[in-house]
Copies of this chain bind each other. A is one copy, B any other.
Amino acid sequence: MPQYRAPVDDTLFLLTDVLGFHARDNLAGFADASPDVVEAVLREGAKLAEEVLAPVNRVGDLEGCRREPDGSVRTPTGFKSAYDAYAKGGWMGLAVPEEFGGQGLPHTVNTAMQEFASGANLALGMYPGLTQGAMAALLVHGSDEQKALYLPKMVEGAWTGTMNLTEPHCGTDLGLLKTKAVPNGDGSYSLTGTKIFISAGEHDLAENIVHLVIARIEGAPAGTKGISLFVVPKFLVNPDGSLGARNGVSCGSLEHKMGIHGNATCVMNYDGATGWLVGQENRGLNAMFVMMNEARLAVGVQGLGQSEVAYQNAVAYAKERLQGRALTGAKAPDKAADPIIVHPDVRRTLMQIGAFNEAARALMLWTALQADILHRSEDAKERQTADDHLGLLTPVVKGVLTDRGFANAVEAQQLFGGHGYIEEWGMSQFVRDARIAMIYEGANGIQAMDLIGRKLPKDGGRAMMAFLGEVQTFLKDHGEDPAMAPFTQPLQAGLNDLQGAVMWLMQNAFSKPDNAGAGASDFMHLFGLVALGYMWARIAKAALARNAETASPRWEAKLTTGRFFMERMLPETALRLVRIKAGADTTMALADEAF
């Protein structure tokens, strides 16, 4: 039975020592998030993840969800009580303003908890995850009335949320959508259409489900400029907040998926369902983007969560499984064979996953902190910088953490040999579950295009210049420190590759956009490597400081792991740059028939 341990200590170290979280008292709500409070919250969250969410992960995979003939959906055994524990613990509203019943804590803390929840049980964690996304959209774009009506119940966990974008013929290209909204004359609309791949679209965990749905108001312009966002509750809500009649929305069927079986992925039929506009008419995509950006970061976090739980179980197996002898002589001569962790190729695998996870966690928290600055700072300039950062890094966190998160789950599974392929051992589930994160909320190819085509050139490249400048400043500040040399020198090389890629794109992609498209995925990964390398350099700096205070194997281990990243993983930037510079000519040369 696989185990999960939430990485609380590493998270606290990153917040406190690396990211200066507690020096952020200028941000609303941060003063309340003292070190003691944050630690207590995360330890409580870890307990929930480890003792309540993780134990029902495998049963969720085995049983999946079941649609009954009446269209209701039953979640797997144990999901309801685990969900209730999550809701009762106040986790849903951790970062929601207190006026709606939330705890008003920083989004950064909530992000740490999202990692724990999705590492422990991805399928279950998605129900609250989507609810948080829907709340984020309502907070920004909902009317006061809508906020008052929906948010308190969602914070309680009594109601959950969904996002309804995809239709059978349109996923990425939302301009094609057909779902229609006809004004009822009383301020409400009547929605008709079919949505697919709706996670948590129908289930038995909550009393009501608050669907956020994009649709086209009759007569609206074609394409993305005619899309509006609606709130469509499963049960209509009376003005006093009590539940009224069943709305005309139902689950037509459940999808049979590769993984996340415990989450109900629904085909949702809207048959004249009553909905209310959220935000402005025809500005739905804008409103939806709030939810999508939040969701994209959360999906990156899921990639890390699966990478972490797969890693932990691979470590445990590698210490226990006896097979062969160390190349340098028996390490456990009293046993029939050595534990496989003695083998360099096994260790290489573990180092690679571990070195990724630590830096990815730093990147995730650093980016989450920008969201807090954006929403809570009173300094306009600071807000703008944070907004730039958030826009630029969101596709990187989503794309890189899920691509590598999946690849790491596969590598961790590999250490189990044949047992990794047998479902009982649980490694297959991590791989199958992690796979979805590369796809939903914008497939990673779309993230790469968003980065290279939209975020990079935006405002004359201001966000990218700020990132490059920040890393360069760090390197200048620490370039003379010999203890930092194993980190700063490789990072400078990686940064040069990133700068080289940006330069090449400036010169070659504006005139010929295919050059951007053909290099998009490599650029996203090149950027991700440098961002992770920068995180490692900052971790190293903090670990050196702590080690100077009190020498400990814990800090030494961080420095070694960081060096591994610098020696073996960061140099991939050079390969990515070669590929980008190869341009689009060969990639685009074949006629369609030649494939």
Contacts and interface: CB of A to CB of B under 8 A. Distances in A.
Contact of A587 (B259, B351, B578): B351
A298 to B, nearest CB: 17
B439 A518 contact: no
B439 A347 contact: no
A171 B418 contact: yes
A589 interface: yes
Given A348-B518, A449-B345, A514-B327, A255 B572 contact: no
A421 B435 contact: yes
A268 to B, nearest CB: 14
Contacts of A345: 445, 448-449, 517-518, 520-521
Interface string A163-199: 0001001111100100000000000000000001100
A343 B172 CA distance: 13
Given A173-B337, A337-B176, A586 B567 contact: yes
Interface stretch (A34-42, A201-209, A318-326, A499-507): A318-326
A274 B378 CA distance: 83
B517 A595 contact: no
A440 interface: yes
Contact of A564 (B444, B553, B587): B587
Given A414-B445, A517-B327, A561 B590 contact: yes
A563 interface: yes
Given A315-B595, A422-B255, A568-B582, A587 B347 contact: yes
A465 interface: no
Contact of A346 (B327, B445, B564): B445
Given A166-B418, A197-B418, A514-B344, A595 B256 contact: no
A333 interface: no
Contacts of A166: 418
A128 interface: no
Given A414-B439, A448-B345, A595 B421 contact: no
Interface string A566-595: 011001101100110010101111111111
Nearest to A175: B337
A343 B586 CA distance: 14
B417 A443 contact: yes
Contacts of A554: 594
A591 B588 CA distance: 49
A254 to B, nearest CB: 11
A26 B466 CA distance: 69
Given A586-B564, A592-B341, A421 B448 contact: no
Taking residues whose C-beta sits less than 8 angstroms from the other chain, chain A's interface range is: 35 or more
Contacts of A351: 586-587, 590
A354 B418 contact: no
A257 interface: yes
Interface string A454-468: 000000000000000
Interface string A491-524: 0000000000000000000000110111011000
Contacts of A584: 344
Interface stretch (A4-12, A358-366, A423-431, A538-546): A423-431
Contact of A517 (B343, B414, B513, B516): B343
Interface of A: 166, 169-173, 176, 196-197, 255-259, 315, 318-319, 322-324, 327-328, 336-337, 339, 341, 343-351, 354, 406, 410, 413-414, 417-418, 420-424, 428, 431-432, 435-436, 438-440, 443-445, 448-449, 513-514, 516-518, 520-521, 553-554, 557, 560-561, 563-564, 567-568, 571-572, 574-575, 578-579, 582, 584, 586-595
Please list the 5 inter-chain residue pairs (A to B) with the smallest Cβ-Cβ separation, ordered nearest first. A344-B517, A327-B513, A258-B428, A557-B594, A344-B518
